Structure 1
Amino acid sequence: MSLIDDLNWRYACKWMNGAKVDEEKLDIILETIRLAPTSIGMQLFKVIVVKKDEELKTIYEKAAPRQHMIPGCSHLLVFAAYTDFDEKDITDYTDRLGKARGTEGEELEFYKKKYIEYAATMDRESIPEWMAKQTYIVMAYATIAAAGLGIDCTPVEGFDPGAVDEILNLREKGLRSTLLLPLGYRDKDVDRSIGLAKVRKSKEDIFIFL
């Protein structure tokens, strides 16, 4: 299928049937997340891959009781942004940059100084929101990748982040949950949303050409 066909095929799956996504396809989705763009390329997030039934049940019952696709999903991706951003993150990034591109010496120090100066101009109170936005970008890529593989997924904001953080001990790791993405396969016997017409604005109502 084409990309547009994939996007027309996918929908907000409400119920999943418990079938498992094979590891090869899961790896493609995870690699898509790894390769997705983020601001300054720093990837200030982690993705926790939850597949144990017991943990899925706990998250469903304690943090997302209205998200009925979670108990039947194959894997639950928990997107978690860093709780803070400092010079060490910049150093880690410039180290990766140096190794990937063979950059060293004065040139590498130039990049490090540039990013440190950029970070110094940022409003500290806005940094958590900025880092959270990066998880939305990579989640969108994961959603598209899943559709291309014929895997259902539903981006979830309607959950209790504090409860998820506690269940997965995220705060101890310097993380806070921002989004959930259950992966799996639609339950055709239960999900009444299957086959419903997609409701979207027209191109004329969305795009402004200048």
Structure 2
Amino acid sequence: MNILESLRWRYATKKFDNNKILPQEKIDTLTEAFNLTATSYGLQPLKLVVIRDKKLQKKLTQHSWNQQQVADASHVLIFCIENVVGEEYIAKYFDNVKTTRNTPDEILNPFKEQLVDSFKNKPLEEISIWAAKQAYLAMGNLLTVCAIEQIDACPMEGFVPEKYDELLKLADLGLSSVLVLPVGYRAQDDIFSDLKKVRKDITDTVITM
């Protein structure tokens, strides 16, 4: 398939085949794609939690408005944000830049100090909203990768983040859950898989100036 055919093939899977498991190389592709996703300033204020435990998936379903996709999917990907993005976090990012690119401090420090000052003056709520936007970027990227790799997926906001955080002990990792993406293979009897994709005409969504 070319990219447009792959995107037409993709849909929000309503029913997964719970007997089919994604091979590890597919999961590796998704995790690598997550890590390669563009983020604001390159700070990557995100973590991806990969669930492949059916008992745990069943527990999570209770906090996902009982959407069965969470229980039946091969894996459940949970997009999380860092609870604290401050001076220490930003310093680690610039240390990584220096190690990776061998960039001198005199070049890095002005931007580093600018970011530290900027984040120091932002309310925590504003930083959380900013970080959550990065999670949406990452999910959008993975949805495209899923389409190309013929992996079925169902993007979800319909869950109770506080319950996920509690069950998975995410606070101990300094994280908060934002989005959920069950992935796997569609069930043969998922009636939604054969429905035509409903979209506006491209002339209604694209403005050329």
Pairwise TM-score range, normalised by the shorter structure = over 0.9
**Aligned-partner SS, 1:178:** strand
Tell me the distance in 2 between the aligned counterparts of 1:65 and 1:158: 7
Q: Which residue of 1 aligns with 2:110?
A: 110
Q: State the one-letter code of the partner of 1:105.
A: D
Q: Which residue of 2 aligns with 1:12?
A: 12
C-alpha contact 2:57 2:70 (8 A) present in aligned 1: yes
CA shift, 1:123, in A, is 4.4
Q: Which residue of 2 aligns with 1:29?
A: 30
CA-to-aligned-CA distance 1:47-92 (integer Å, 9 cap, x gap): 110001111111012x114322111111100111112211011101
Q: Which residue of 2 aligns with 1:198?
A: 197
After alignment, is 133-142 or 106-115 more displaced?
106-115
Q: State the one-letter code of the partner of 2:202.
A: K
C-alpha contact 2:153 2:184 (8 A) present in aligned 1: yes
Tell me the distance in 2 between the aligned counterparts of 1:79 and 1:182: 11
CA shift, 1:121, in A, is 5.0
CA shift, 1:157, in A, is 0.3
Q: Which runs of 5+ in 1 are unaligned?
A: none
**Aligned-partner SS, 1:71:** helix
Tell me the distance in 1 between the aligned counterparts of 2:201 and 2:87: 45
**Aligned-partner SS, 1:179:** strand
Q: Which residue of 1 aligns with 2:186?
A: 186
Tell me the distance in 2 between the aligned counterparts of 1:201 and 1:11: 16
Tell me the distance in 2 between the aligned counterparts of 1:130 and 1:140: 16
Q: State the one-letter code of the partner of 2:33.
A: T
Tell me the distance in 1 between the aligned counterparts of 2:109 and 2:52: 42
CA-to-aligned-CA distance 1:2-24 (integer Å, 9 cap, x gap): 11111000001001012100011
Paired residues for 1:123-142 under 5 Å:
123-142=123-142
**Aligned-partner SS, 1:188:** coil
Q: Which residue of 2 aligns with 1:77?
A: 77
Q: Which residue of 2 aligns with 1:158?
A: 158
Q: Which residue of 1 aligns with 2:52?
A: 51
Tell me the distance in 2 between the aligned counterparts of 1:47 and 1:6: 24
Q: State the one-letter code of the partner of 1:183.
A: V
After alignment, is 110-119 or 124-133 more displaced?
110-119
C-alpha contact 1:44 1:134 (8 A) present in aligned 2: yes
Aligned residues: 208
CA-to-aligned-CA distance 1:132-169 (integer Å, 9 cap, x gap): 11000011111111111111001100011111011101
What is the TM-score when the length of structure 2 is the normalising length? 0.95
Tell me the distance in 2 between the aligned counterparts of 1:122 and 1:167: 30
Q: Which runs of 5+ in 2 are unaligned?
A: none
**Aligned-partner SS, 1:78:** strand
1:89 corresponds to 2:125: no
